[in-house]
Amino acid sequence: MNFDERAPAIQDRRKKDVMSMREVAVVGVGMTKFGKSDKSSIELFSEAAMDAINESNLKSKDIQALFVGNCYSDCVESQANIAAFCAADIGVPGIPATRFEGACASASVAIRDAFMWVASGFYDIVVVGGTERCAAVDTPFATRIFQFGSDGRYEVFTGLTFPGIFAMMAHMYAVKYQIPLPKLKEQMDLVTIKNHNFGSRNPKAHLKFSIAERMSRLIEDSKSKGKPVPTWNNEHDFLRDSSVNMFVADPLQVFDCCPFSDGASAVVLASLDVAKKLTGKPVVICGAGQSSAGALSFQKDPTRLRARELSAKQAYQMAGMQPKDIDICELHDCFTIAEIVATEGLGFFEPGKGAEALEAGRTGLGGELVVNPSGGLKSKGHPIGATGAAQVYEVAKQLREECGDRQIDGAKVGMTDTLGGDFGTVSNIILKRGW
């Protein structure tokens, strides 16, 4: 019996389970600045967690459990068993503390589990998030440990890296949908431009600059040093210039790739009845999904990720919503082509139409669906274990109208999408205003 044959029974059971669940809300959120930090992963998590706890009008002693997403603290810092140390560091050494690992989706997997524990009635108040130090190591070592998210039997020994995998995705997308590769690359560059524009407005972003600002800075630097002054006409000219935007894995260049970041993010989850006593603006988790896939050799089409489509379907069904109901989406743009493919896999656009929708401005400021108003992984940064929680942080802040000059007017429903490994783990969370 394959998955599709089992799916109706699974969905029927899930519907019955959901009917008996309590509503769960985000009460408080916290996030460190992403970038390069001298703090340990535990210290970063404590900073984010205490901000979330304080914002929730709670004390550490009120927390009943702690869940933390983390991938590489044992490799980078020689620190395993990190969850227990995180709990002790925020003053609650006696509570259950669990580390979750799902590659880049680690924090989202942790949040989904925490949501289910609170919804079941077992806990009333939980702190959940993620932490990572990725900028603390050099590129060769980071590339090596990131390969741990690929299949060690069939993939790692080939030398295939994540830039290589997503470069392959771009080539396959261009061929499948008959888009000339130079044209697709221009559309991918629009992801870079859009997300850096948003990131330049995010005080916690790792790469807190727009592409236009970077161009101007380099021009001024050339003038001050008496060097030849670049003659870029616009952002596209700049991004085409391989002397400032080097190739990583054709067609991906440096600015198609998210940075390695240090950072942490955390949220406090509570049952809705408890949340309403703590805040006037609870953000309700109304849908959550998670799915998985095997090695790339088991996956038929990298331009259509089955795990993402299954996970998103679960989240939509639990929320009683459709893609058209989503106002903002924080999705996994580890590489620019990944954002285009994700907008299709989440059902926002038809397969092969995501790049066209991006070009038409449908995912930017003022568009029908605003994608990655935080700047996304591309500009905000990507501390692997923390990314999913940072996405929830942004959505919650947007729904509470607390995002300053990157605020999306009228946003009432938001979605997160986090992709782990080479499409092996995917988790989606849908949130809405609870007031």
Active site residues per annotation = 104, 382
Give me 274's structure tokens: 């408890």
| 251 in Cβ contact with 188 (< 8 Å) | yes
Helix pair angle (3-19, 306-319), 10° resolution: 30
What is d(CA 173, CA 118) in angstroms, rounded to the nearest whole number?
Answer: 40
| 202 in Cβ contact with 407 (< 8 Å) | no
What b/e readout covers 70-101, taking b as 16+ CB neighbours within 10 angstroms? bbbbeebeebeebbbbbbbbbebeebebebbb
Give SS3 for 411. Answer: coil
What is d(CA 383, CA 36) in angstroms, rounded to the nearest whole number?
Answer: 10
Residue 130 burial (10 A CB sphere; 0-12, 13-18, 19+)? buried
Q: Supply angle C-alpha 88, 90, 58, rounded to 5.
A: 135
What is d(CA 341, CA 77) in angstroms, rounded to the nearest whole number?
Answer: 34
